[in-house]
Amino acid sequence: MSTEVKVPVLGESITEATIGEWLKKPGEAVALDEPIASLETDKVAIDVPSPVAGVMGDTLFAIGDTVEVGAVIANIEAGSGAAAKPVSAPAANAASDSTASSGDMPPLSPSVRRLVLEHGIDPTKVKGTGKDGRLTKEDVLAAANNAPEQNAATTDSAAAAPAASGPVRREERVRMTRLRQTIAKRLKSAQENAAMLTTFNDVDMTAVMETRGKYKDLFEKKHGVRLGFMGFFTKAAALAARDVPAVNAQIDGDEIIYFNYLDVSVAVSAPNGLVVPVIRSADQMSFAEIEKTIGDFGKRAKDGTLKMDEMMGGTFTISNGGVFGSLMSTPIINPPQSAVLGLHRIEQRPVVMPNGEIKARPMMYLALSYDHRIIDGKEAVTFLKSIKDSIEDPSRLLIDL
């Protein structure tokens, strides 16, 4: 007797996905609700759990195939099955064998498997930080950086050639993930369909940094989360949007939709690319609620456990490229939204004070990209200036100025 495994409902308006990897091989034991496959959608990777305990049967699709919601992708047979085979450490030149089987490794995503072979890393000796202890690209790269003697070995058989032959020139062609394809289409669509423009300002972070320094220990002790910058900027954006509602509005055909709430999309790094979960009604949240929500999003993005509905909607986006060291950028709006606020790294720069004195101050560049069809230049500048004023004088956030 066998039980069919079907593609689950993936979320609103999402009707298909791509087989990202098979987490179980035919003949292996499968527990109830144990993930057997990973699907890549337009938004995120989703694990498909087994509906019953048994033995992994036939897989009906290959990695990279597109499957629709409700399609049968595998069968689970009755029985106890066999445990997954232990993995032996791959030799540094093992990847050069084109017949090498992924069955010699624990379940790895294609990108992680490629890195494992490329760096000659034994995946069984690396602690995974992903969901259920699975390896991420970051885990493999960290292991490679800590093993220079392994890094020196190359996975290409051409590396065995004498040094006199010169450096090895290689090319690699990798299929774009479904998520990356969607990101590419959406960003290109934003440039083609919106009259996009970016305005800049800079902000003195002294007051916010002093506030954090003064209250961070008490804040963390009381709320169990660190006080970050995003709470300040989210609150500042909420106040600014009240005065400039067009920044938090959207075009729908020949109509404009104005929202009396602020649902903030926050760009978060995930193993398969950038995902944008949404903080619902962020304008009604406390600093602690905002920081807790963002921290939870970041953790679950890394684990691959974000839900589809958590990334749907959003009326405004905040993207913090500063965490990666970006000094300045022109972020692209996230359709159908009309604006995105870009944050950047903080660095000491000389600033002329009102009394003419020059001081070194912790400065950050702010960028607001917006759809000029709905937001006028004056409105964009006013919005960004309002955020600057709130950050440079955080007491404004408390008295609603």
pLDDT by residue (tens digit) across 70-108?
A: 899 999 998 775 554 444 444 443 333 333 334 444 566
Are 203 and 366 a contacting pair, CB within 8 Å?
Answer: yes
Please report the pLDDT score of residue 19 as a whole number.
Answer: 87
Q: How many helices (H) and strands (E) does the chain have?
A: 9, 18
The DSSP code sequence of 120-170 is: T--GGGS---SGGG---HHHHHHHHHT-HHHHTS-SSGGGGS-GGG-PPP-
Tokens coding 103: 């069955």
DSSP character at residue 85: P
Distance CA 265, CA 4 (A): 37
283 beta partners: none
CA dihedral of 287, 291, 297, 302, whole degrees rounded to 10: 170
| CATH number 3.40.50.1360 given to 181-398 | no
Mean residue pLDDT across the chain: 82
Q: Which residue, chain included where needed, has tokens 């300040």?
A: 232
Residues contacting residue 66 through CB under 8 Å, at least 6 positions apart: 16, 17, 18
Range with the lowest mean pLDDT among 44-53, 203-212, 285-294, 336-345?
Answer: 44-53
Fold of 94-165: Dihydrolipoamide Transferase (4.10.320)
User: Would you say 36 and 23 are in contact if contact means Cβ atoms under 8 Å apart?
Assistant: yes
Domain coordinates in residue numbering, the chain: 2-77, 94-165, 181-398
Residue 217 CA to residue 229 CA, distance in Å, equals 15
| Domain 2-77 and domain 181-398 have a common topology | no
Residues contacting 249, CB < 8 A, separation 6+: 256, 257, 258, 259, 315, 338, 374
Please write the tens of the pLDDT for every residue from 232-252: 999 999 999 999 999 999 999
Residues marked as catalytic? 372, 376
Tokens matching residue 50 = 């087994």
Mean pLDDT of 33-38: 88
C-alpha–C-alpha distance, residues 137 and 130, integer Å: 10
CATH level 3 topology of 2-77: OB fold (Dihydrolipoamide Acetyltransferase, E2P) (2.40.50)
Whole-angstrom Cα distance, residue 15 to residue 70? 9
- How far apart are the C-alpha atoms of 364 and 142, rounded to whole Å? 30
* pTM, to two decimals: 0.64
- Between 239 and 14, the more confident residue is 239
Question: How open is the CA angle 69-74-75, to the nearest 5 degrees?
Answer: 125
What integer pLDDT is reported at residue 130 of this predicted model? 72
pLDDT on residue 11: 66
Query: What is the CA angle 166-172-173, rounded to 5?
Result: 155
Instruction: Evaluate whether 39 touches 46 at the Cβ level (below 8 Å).
Output: yes
Average pLDDT for residues 29-44, to the nearest whole number?
Answer: 83
**pLDDT over 90 (residue 370):** yes
Question: Given a cut of 90, is residue 208 above it in pLDDT?
Answer: yes
